[in-house]
Chains A and B, each alone.
Chain A
Amino acid sequence: MADSDEEYVGDVTDDEDDLQVTRKDRVTTRKKKQRGGAEWELARTWETLVEGADGTISSTVEGLLEAGKRKRLLKDTTPLQRGIIRHLILALDLSQSMSEKDLRPTRYLLTLRYAQDFVREFFEQNPISQLGVIGLRDGLAIRVSDMSGNPTEHIEAIQSLRTHDPKGLPSLQNGLEMARGALFHTPSHGTREVLIIFGSLLSSDPGDIHQTINTLINDKVRVRIVGLAAQVAICRELCTKTNGGDETAYGVALHEQHFRDLMLDVTTPPASYSQKESASSLLMMGFPSRTVESSPSLCACHSKPSRGGYLCSRCGSKVCSLPAECPSCSLTLILSTHLARSYHHLFPLMNWVEVPWREAVRSKACFACGLPFPTGPPEDQAQTVENPTKGMSASSRYECTACQNHFCIDCDLFAHEVVHNCPGCQSKSIPSVNEVGNPDGMDITV
């Protein structure tokens, strides 16, 4: 806040920077392949600015902002098969290199904070998956929390790390071996993954790490690493090999925001490679309802008296918490709301398309929120103002191709990122959707 003159245009430039940085990333990775990464990256931010008719650049800047918003949306939305029951070990570097202050407040504290966000987001995206946390310090791997499906357990364990200081050197090999041990017994229909947050530039290992890599490949464990300092050759090799040659599994954080993005990317369920790798199976599950009794009774899982609980849908035994396996009839009991959390991955909302001016006359306001749209330019200028920036609609309208309603950019974002429903499609009945018994009649369009 030293100089106010710069401070208060800050918002615009910040966003612009973000835009540039992410663009730069892509450029970087591409260039690295071509020229071995020895290229100075130049972000020519000024070249994207074009003066508007009134001689200012405000319209372009706004366009860039809007395009930036939309960029996040324009991703592949074809329904993918995703191995959603995941088993993941989060390995945190707790060595002395984490006390560096290049990420604020320190690498260590920031990592712990993002790790908590990661756990939350992970269970949001992968509701019935399992997660475990380990730490690397003093050349050892330490167990922070065991494999479980309860996010609060992990968050508490990570929070308790705050009181410790990072020290010693990390050992990748020990960490990987411990992770492999934890993932060894997981069922075959799930994925096995390790995510390492690695702040050091070295690994002090007791043996040959290449052997460990080979056993990991045999056990179908995929390793992803987020580096905090610089690229390390062994990390790159580790990620490439365990991910079948995919280099994107290794990323080095440029700044705080990028670090967070890299970490949260991992929460998206990965595409499964082929049918064979993970044999799919049909699981029978019960969706018990919660009951409250007037007098306490014993629960079947811990034999403790309690008033509230869930009754198994098949045999009626009472369990205290979900998800659980019924102790008497071994039916998997789960909250249906947990499953439903992930359905927007199954039936993603289609991307909406930009509306050119000539079709824009159909609507005057956003269908969902009633925000009035700008009226079109006169006919003769219509050509010149078309599409100033890619991904952004000149008429500020976005159309859902299924229901052909027009929406504003905010509703577009909101519908795709938060609700995952199209307000238009949901608001009128489409007869084919309502036919009972139609095999794929779940409205895939929504």
Chain B
Amino acid sequence: MESIESGSQSKNWIEQFYNFPPLFTLQPNPSSRKRQFEVWTKLLQTHCSKSNQFIITRTEALFTNNEISRDLSEEFITELFSYLIDNDHGVPSKGGGSPKPKSKEEKHLSGQGVDSLIFWFIPRERWYERLYEYAKTNGLQKGGIATAFEILEDQAFTGMDERVLTILLNGMMSTRKCEVMLANDGITIDGVKFF
């Protein structure tokens, strides 16, 4: 392990940081810890945008660095998920609905019990823009309607599934650029009307 002497010269600094062993240990200094979560966010963004990956689980390949034989602990992943959720980089996909803390003193972490995360490898607002761009391209921006299936067919949304789209469209409604029409079950999206 002592053979890890320094970051490779050719890599950009985010990639160099990935081989920096303490990146895999929760830092005691709050500003260093914030910094390390920012680095993890960037690493995940680069990694996920390459393959249009929307879901991150606790067994995410990136969390194990074979080159330097380091991996993230469960505790670390919970903290990282909490950071991502709290900073609007993602929302719990499965698990979640974290049990209430037993006492008031106990720290409540939004990543507690979250097994997988929907991760916005580009910011949510950019997805809203892309969706509206889709509407404009297809001449739907003045009350036109599209189905979820139609939207997901478009290559701008490769890798996205209906669950992710639903969350995005529900969020987009607050910008008054669209309205979601739900099926009888109250969950499935029948169609989207754009304004």
Partners in one complex: no
B interface vs A, CB < 8 Å?
A: none
